[in-house]
Amino acid sequence: MIISDSLLLLAESGGQPLHAPDGFFSMPVIAAGWIVAVALLAIALRKTDRLLNERMVPMMGVLAAFVFAAQMLNFPVAGGTSGHFVGGAFAAIVLGVWPAGLVMTAVVATQALLFQDGGLGALGLNITNMGFVSIFVGYGLYRVTARLGAQGVALTVRAFIAAWASVVASAVAVTLQLAASGTTPLEVGLPAMVGVHLLIGIGEGLITAAALSFVMATRRDLLNLSASAPA
Amino acid sequence: MKNAKLWLVGYVIALGVVLLAPLASSSPDGLEAVAEEHYFSDKAQDPPFQIIADYVFPGIENEALATILSGFVGVTLVYALVVGLAYLAYRRVGARTATSHTG
């Protein structure tokens, strides 16, 4: 009965993002999520302080607005499942790691508080996974592949790889947390979660590459704001 | 200021993206689908309160319109929140730098 009710609820949900709700994670895992999120946020606030200028301030707002909007666009993937853009890699490529962390936190927190998308307890985990994990992995890969080139196709390919991997990494993080919570064992959860997010990551990669190409074509001076800001 | 346009154009692009939201797939997303498949979706707890739950603005009959309106509210809110806080921090840092220069 409870299962059929929640399935009904899911069917009626209109297919919007739906971040991890409360109930999936144990107390210790929830607490760990908050500790990691708060610690990283403290660093992000300090680091971003020095990067703020007349371009960074509006661009952080624009990235937050775009990420919020684009996350609403669930696209279909195989087997009656959908996925949606996360945006951590894109925000990090444009803004740098730490301002991107603040932007993603603002988006995910607003979604939890106002839109009941993602549990309030699970907010620390959602900030960690969709914010910092996707940012670190996405930006890391973007930097590692720098040798490929910084223009045109090379940049597009780097953005695609970074964004694709960022989604898979987030999914792995969630699966580890689900396993640690005793919700679903790793050997079951990992193939299922990674499998579907390998596909969802393709959407993330395409959107990120397209959005980055758009920025390159219109205002390339806005790319990599952290590096161009005076230290 | 050269960046005056940037503030507006970026915001308008985000609003434009929201207009596509009614076309979004309504299938369960990655985590939801896995949760259903592996029988832990029933563990999900209902939120203690609802404001604009499921990105449907309450009290509007037309679901597409309710979705778009909720998106506009969200986009505007995160934009104002981030720009507001970042601008306050920017001014504070600027004041501190100015003081340390004169001092």
Query: So where are chain B's domains?
Result: 1-23+52-103
Mean pLDDT of chain B: 89
- Predicted TM-score of the model (pTM): 0.92
The Cα A201–Cα A194 span in angstroms is: 10
Whether the CB-CB separation of A183 and A25 falls below 8 Å is answered with: yes
Residues of chain B with C-beta less than 8 angstroms from the C-beta of A79: 33
Whether the CB-CB separation of A132 and A40 falls below 8 Å is answered with: yes
CA B63 to chain A, closest CA, distance in angstroms equals 9
The Cα A44–Cα B48 span in angstroms is: 30
ipTM for this model: 0.92
Q: Say yes or no for a CB contact (<8 Å) between B48 and A120.
A: yes
Residue B98 confidence (pLDDT): 61
Residue spans of chain A under pLDDT 50: 1-15, 229-231
CA A147 to chain B, closest CA, distance in angstroms equals 30
Q: Which of A9 and B44 is assigned the larger pLDDT?
A: B44
Phi then psi for A81, rounded to 5 degrees?
-115, 155
Residue A223 confidence (pLDDT): 83
Residues of chain A with C-beta less than 8 angstroms from the C-beta of B75: 65, 68-69
Residue A13 confidence (pLDDT): 44
Which two three-digit tokens encode residue A227?
Answer: 């590096």
Q: How would residue B58 be classed by pLDDT, with cut points 50, 70 and 90?
A: very high
Per-residue pLDDT of B67-102, as tens digits, reads 999 999 999 999 999 999 999 999 987 776 665 544
Helix (H) or strand (E) holding A177: helix A152-180
Residue A18 confidence (pLDDT): 79
Residues of chain B with C-beta less than 8 angstroms from the C-beta of A197: 30
Q: Which of residues 112-151 of A touch B (CB under 8 A)?
A: 113-117, 119-120
Which residue, among A116, A170, A202, would best test binding to B if mutated, counting the most B CBs under 10 Å from its CB? A116
With vertex at residue A22, the alpha carbon angle to CA A16 and CA A26, rounded to the nearest 5 degrees, is 140
Residue B15 confidence (pLDDT): 98
Q: Is A7 on the interface with B (CB under 8 A)?
A: yes
Per-residue pLDDT of A29-70, as tens digits, reads 999 999 999 999 999 999 999 999 989 999 999 999 999 999
Residue A10 confidence (pLDDT): 41
Residue A226 confidence (pLDDT): 76
Q: Say yes or no for a CB contact (<8 Å) between B44 and A22.
A: yes
